[in-house]
Amino acid sequence: MNTPGSKQPSWFPRPPSWLSRPILVLALIIMSFVQYPSDHPFPIQNLPYGVFSTDTQPATRPGVAIGDFILDLAALSQTEHWAKSPVKASIFQTANLDAFVALEPEDWAAFRAFLTSILSPSSPLKANADAVLVPRTAASTHLHLPINIGDYTDFYASYEHAFNAGVLIRGPANALQPNWKHLPVGYHGRASSIVVSGTPFHRPTGQILDKPTDKQPIFAPCRKLDYELETAFVGRKHIFGMVLMNDWSARDIQTWEYVPLGPFLSKNFCTTIAPWIVTPAALEPFKVKQYEHDPALLPYLDDPEGYNYAVPLHLEIKTAESEAYSHVSTSSMQHTYYTFAQMIAHHSATGCNLRPSDMMGSGTLSAPGNSDAPNDGALGSLLERSRLGREPFELNEGRKDMTWLRDGDSVRITGVAKGEGYSIGFGECEGTVLPAWAGA
Amino acid sequence: MNTPGSKQPSWFPRPPSWLSRPILVLALIIMSFVQYPSDHPFPIQNLPYGVFSTDTQPATRPGVAIGDFILDLAALSQTEHWAKSPVKASIFQTANLDAFVALEPEDWAAFRAFLTSILSPSSPLKANADAVLVPRTAASTHLHLPINIGDYTDFYASYEHAFNAGVLIRGPANALQPNWKHLPVGYHGRASSIVVSGTPFHRPTGQILDKPTDKQPIFAPCRKLDYELETAFVGRKHIFGMVLMNDWSARDIQTWEYVPLGPFLSKNFCTTIAPWIVTPAALEPFKVKQYEHDPALLPYLDDPEGYNYAVPLHLEIKTAESEAYSHVSTSSMQHTYYTFAQMIAHHSATGCNLRPSDMMGSGTLSAPGNSDAPNDGALGSLLERSRLGREPFELNEGRKDMTWLRDGDSVRITGVAKGEGYSIGFGECEGTVLPAWAGA
């Protein structure tokens, strides 16, 4: 519950007014000349933004996913169809989405309306669409980081994850730190180590304790390599969009290094994001009530109209010895105790200047369990699922004693929200563990 | 002591080979046609890099400080004198030093030799130098951030500071965390909130505990605003240069927020750096022996030729009610337990990709005291000097009960190393505390 009568500061991030329009009704009747099945993750109701290149045109450039194609915005901006665009051509004649992300929500809305029109069945583009539609899944098409990430912050906003981790580390009585229910705990991450889905990474080598009681560390390949099922948002005053994220974590390096200044090398060897940024406009139909806040939050975090997005998130593992993925977990984007608007409000409260192309992670998203135990099918990390590695579990495909990630293991996160007659997909966020560097 | 016989990995950051030349001897005989007194902080032996603009030419561009002037590198690159430059003109025809910083140490050395020649008494530039020399201290000349900072990391590498802070927080028996003598503790800071000297900032408002035993926080202006006397380096494989830094800290916000993920809002409202980047070539004569490491460091941190730089650093405060600065502390750049090369080696050991324009802070630099007490005249923070605010102290000018910073207080850090017949200055790193935003 929020404090009754508390006044919200004028700078509190708010969804733009156009989001309150009943676009769900509109969504049911709009279609595109691009053909795709009704359960396709990239219908015209989605229109996520990304950056791509092709073997024949290796310059990276912005695009929008539509069905099995990418609408090449750089190419489109050089055609006569751009005459109706509310956005200057130069905004998309660049290597990333930074210039577009730096515009205002009204511009994003106007451009979405333009895209919806230009892709509609009656669009004049239909006659010469081949020039601007690129096969999305072709081997010759490559996806890249969508923005030049400025600063990267990772929150720790899932109550269930924080509680589960706290129980394992400190026991149920002190599972949550005293500050946790008063502010969205977060820390600065490493922007340079964020990579796009499909980029493999080497198992990190770092300082760990060989035995927990040791005083002298060793320098060795990480033995407790974990994933973190997350989502992240791009935005400053307003949220431009959401991506899937896997914040890979080296738990043994983390345990040894993180007191008192927080995670450092245990997190900055690799963080993977999916290539497609899904907009709030596409997610509007999937709003759900935010978490109840007890104790009440301070007024600067008051967000009476706050909401989360119900987007199921699936995590699968393909082990080195297996041909197929095993489903491990289904959580949801909605499992943050704090809304994304509250994260922004907190982040900027002391005067920190947020920039358009900053990225902010939700933290690991685990779903509620029952009163006695976590929901094993909805946990966002191996730390939780294997109880700090003490309780191996069985995968559908192959491995019977899963604890931490082994060399050759791949992890894939996907997210699809099912609407009325259509789906909103987030693409996939995949990464594979390579062996530690030789000699390490 | 380092582990005897341990092998250093080939990727261990090493000073470039040209640094081993006896340039001290050379330094004694080189001069410039630009006139300055013998104790000037910016003689030809220094040649620090910065970025500036002028009222008549508002485009920001790179320059080099020489005496009371800035040599405009963008302007120089468009003259016939550039014919002898080993670096392309386009490198400096930009708004910052990023392109130059991304070159190799051999390029930096060659360009330094070019600068030394072009500024020498017999240089042909002397005849028409007015076109490329800008008055450095004129009101119409403005200094800016020298690089577009990628990621910002702050270490915690001063033994004396870590020990002093630990004693105050946990007592002398547990002053250092178990990991402290095994690795350079560090955390990711916020790149966007780094500002250039002279930029005032508002006192941050955030969550604090009104009384230490409170369970419910309040949202209020910081009451324990502190400075941190630091230096920072720019570099990746090799160090491009050093700057003065003040990592302003809100101690009450920090106390409440920092467990378990480290400092966040307590640090990201403002970090100030001096505008001039001083190069290793200029600091070569000031190398001193590194700290002894006991216990021995792991081989990946082994740095038998490691060194620190002896550069005295002065911190002064001008209180809101005073006309003049009071000297508060003299520490030195040499007081890091880990060498800068060790910080780079550790940072990149797990696979973290460092980029040329990243910035890394040393952490607060306090100097050794005697066996019973810290050296009050050489402490890098008010936390240490005022014993967590419990022991007010007197400033030379005005205030008799100094604990934490008040609105209107200014803090200035300067650094000058005295060589044989010349000085190497770092400029100044100054900032003033403005009141908290109205309504906060």
Spell out the per-residue pLDDT of chain B, length 440, in tens: 333 333 444 445 554 444 444 444 444 457 999 999 999 999 999 999 999 999 999 999 999 999 999 999 999 999 999 999 999 999 999 999 999 999 999 999 999 999 999 999 999 999 999 999 999 999 999 999 999 999 999 999 999 999 999 999 999 999 999 999 999 999 999 999 999 999 999 999 999 999 999 999 999 999 999 999 999 999 988 999 999 999 999 999 999 999 999 999 999 999 999 999 999 999 999 999 999 999 999 999 999 999 999 999 999 999 999 999 999 999 999 999 999 999 999 999 999 999 999 999 999 999 999 878 899 999 999 999 999 999 999 999 889 999 999 999 999 999 999 999 999 999 999 999 999 997 54
**Residue B437: closest C-alpha in chain A:** A351
**A354 in B contact zone (CB under 8 Å):** yes
CA distances from B16 to A1, A386, A427, B109, B434 (A): 61, 48, 46, 9, 43
Residues of A within 8 A of B434 (CB-CB) are none
Kindly state the tokens that stand for A238. Answer: 């307003």
**Residue B187: closest C-alpha in chain A:** A264
Residues of A within 8 A of B183 (CB-CB) are 207, 217, 257
Instruction: Choose the catalytic residue: B40, B81, B144, B161.
Output: B161
Task: Provide the chain B residues 247-266 that lie in CB contact (below 8 A) with chain A.
Answer: 250, 253, 256-266
Share of chain A above pLDDT 70, in %: 93
Residues A98 and A164 both lie in one domain:
no
pLDDT at position B266: 98
Q: Which of A91, A126, A144 is the last residue of a domain?
A: A144
Kindly state the tokens that stand for B225. Answer: 């605003």
* A311-340 confidence digits (pLDDT tens): 999 999 999 999 999 999 999 999 999 999
- Give the position of tokens 């006192």: B203
Task: Provide the chain A residues 94-153 that lie in CB contact (below 8 A) with chain B.
Answer: 150-151
Residues B135 and B188 both lie in one domain:
no
In a domain, residue B64? The reply is yes
Enter the DSSP assignment of B147.
Answer: S
pLDDT band at residue A13 using 50, 70 and 90 as cut-offs: low
Span between the terminal Cα atoms of chain A, in Å: 51
**A212 in B contact zone (CB under 8 Å):** no
CB contact under 8 A, A150 and B351: no
3-class secondary-structure state, position B144: strand
Average the pLDDT over A90-99 and give the result. Answer: 98
Taking a C-beta distance cutoff of 8 angstroms, is the pair A85, A111 a contact?
A: yes
Taking a C-beta distance cutoff of 8 angstroms, is the pair A17, A35 a contact?
A: no
Residues B136 and B169 both lie in one domain:
no
Residues B359 and B266 both lie in one domain:
yes
CB contact under 8 A, A352 and B263: no
Kindly state the tokens that stand for B243. Answer: 């700057």
Give me the residue from A186, A258, A298 closest to B207, CB to CB: A298
**B408 in A contact zone (CB under 8 Å):** no
Write down the ipTM of this complex.
0.92
Q: Which of B144, B171, B202 is the last residue of a domain?
A: B144
**B358 in A contact zone (CB under 8 Å):** yes
How far apart, in whole angstroms, are the C-alpha atoms of residue B436 and residue B440? 7
In a domain, residue B12? The reply is no
Residues B211 and B343 both lie in one domain:
yes
Give me the residue from B156, B216, B298 closest to A219, CB to CB: B298
CB contact under 8 A, A352 and B439: no
Q: How close B42 comes to chain A (CA, Å)?
A: 33
Give me the residue from B207, B261, B300 closest to A263, CB to CB: B261
Kindly state the tokens that stand for B77. Answer: 């690159």
Residues of A within 8 A of B190 (CB-CB) are 151, 188, 352
In a domain, residue A11? The reply is no
How far apart, in whole angstroms, are the C-alpha atoms of residue A358 and residue B85? 38
A6 has a pLDDT exceeding 50: no
In a domain, residue B84? The reply is yes
How far apart, in whole angstroms, are the C-alpha atoms of residue B121 and residue B29? 12
**Residue A257: closest C-alpha in chain B:** B179
Share of chain A above pLDDT 90, in %: 90
Q: How close A355 comes to chain B (CA, Å)?
A: 8
CB contact under 8 A, B257 and A183: yes
Please report, as a single letter, which amino acid is at residue A123: S
Number of Cα atoms under 13 Å in the Cβ half of residue A244:
32
- Best of A350, A353, A383, A434 to substitute, by most chain B Cβ atoms within 10 angstroms, is A350
Residues B172 and B308 both lie in one domain:
yes
pLDDT band at residue A29 using 50, 70 and 90 as cut-offs: low
* B128-164 confidence digits (pLDDT tens): 999 999 999 999 999 999 999 999 999 999 999 999 9
Q: Using CB atoms within 10 A of its CB, is residue B266 exposed (0-12), middle (13-18) or buried (19+)?
A: buried
pLDDT at position B2: 35
Domain count of the fold of chain A: 2
DSSP β-bridge partners for residue B243: B232
Q: How close A132 comes to chain B (CA, Å)?
A: 34
Q: What is the CATH number of the domain that holds B265?
A: 3.90.850.10
- Give the position of tokens 């009204």: A106
Omega before residue B392 within 30° of 0, cis = no
Nearest Cα to Cα of residue A143 among A62, A36, A79: A62
**B189 in A contact zone (CB under 8 Å):** yes
pLDDT at position B15: 47
Average the pLDDT over A356-375 and give the result. Answer: 93
Determine the length of chain B: 440
**A156 in B contact zone (CB under 8 Å):** yes
Among all residues of A, which ones are annotated catalytic?
161
**Residue B207: closest C-alpha in chain A:** A183
- What CA dihedral angle connects A380, A382, A388 and A392, to 10 degrees? 130
Q: Which of B144, B172, B191 is the last residue of a domain?
A: B144
Count of A–B CB contacts within 8 Å? 175
In a domain, residue A2? The reply is no
pLDDT at position B29: 56
In a domain, residue A46? The reply is yes
Residues of A within 8 A of B295 (CB-CB) are 216
Q: Sign of torsion, CA A281 A332 A101 A428?
A: negative
**A183 in B contact zone (CB under 8 Å):** yes
Residues A274 and A356 both lie in one domain:
yes
Enter the DSSP assignment of B192.
Answer: G
Residues of B within 8 A of A271 (CB-CB) are none
- Give the position of tokens 């910002």: B152
Instruction: Please name the helix (run of DSSP H) or strand (run of DSSP E) that holds residue B220, with its range, or none.
Output: strand B218-221
Q: Which of A2-16, A158-172, B387-401 has the lowest mean pLDDT?
A: A2-16
Average the pLDDT over A159-182 and give the result. Answer: 96
- Of A5 and A378, the structure prediction assigns the larger pLDDT to A378
Task: Provide the chain A residues 271-330 that lie in CB contact (below 8 A) with chain B.
Answer: 295, 298-300
Q: Which domain covers residue B59, as residue numbers?
A: 31-144
In a domain, residue B208? The reply is yes
Residues of B within 8 A of A364 (CB-CB) are none
pLDDT at position B366: 98
Residues A340 and A371 both lie in one domain:
yes
* B196-246 confidence digits (pLDDT tens): 999 999 999 999 999 999 999 999 999 999 999 999 999 988 999 999 999
pLDDT at position A398: 82
Residues A291 and A366 both lie in one domain:
yes
How far apart, in whole angstroms, are the C-alpha atoms of residue A256 and residue B261? 13
Taking a C-beta distance cutoff of 8 angstroms, is the pair A378, A366 a contact?
A: yes
Instruction: Please name the helix (run of DSSP H) or strand (run of DSSP E) that holds residue A205, with its range, or none.
Output: strand A205-208
Number of other residues whose CB lies within 10 A of the CB of residue B418? 14
Taking a C-beta distance cutoff of 8 angstroms, is the pair B293, B2 a contact?
A: yes
Residues B256 and B160 both lie in one domain:
yes
Average the pLDDT over A394-406 and give the result. Answer: 95
Q: How close A9 comes to chain B (CA, Å)?
A: 9
Residues of B within 8 A of A186 (CB-CB) are 261, 264
Average pLDDT score, chain A: 93
How far apart, in whole angstroms, are the C-alpha atoms of residue B266 and residue B269? 7
In a domain, residue A8? The reply is no
How far apart, in whole angstroms, are the C-alpha atoms of residue A190 and residue B185? 15
Residues A217 and A123 both lie in one domain:
no
CB contact under 8 A, A265 and B352: yes
**B56 in A contact zone (CB under 8 Å):** no
Q: What is the CATH number of the domain that holds B68?
A: 2.30.30.230
Span between the terminal Cα atoms of chain B, in Å: 51
A7 has a pLDDT exceeding 60: no
Nearest Cα to Cα of residue B11 among B359, B346, B362, B358: B346
Residues A44 and A178 both lie in one domain:
no
How far apart, in whole angstroms, are the C-alpha atoms of residue A106 and residue A136? 28
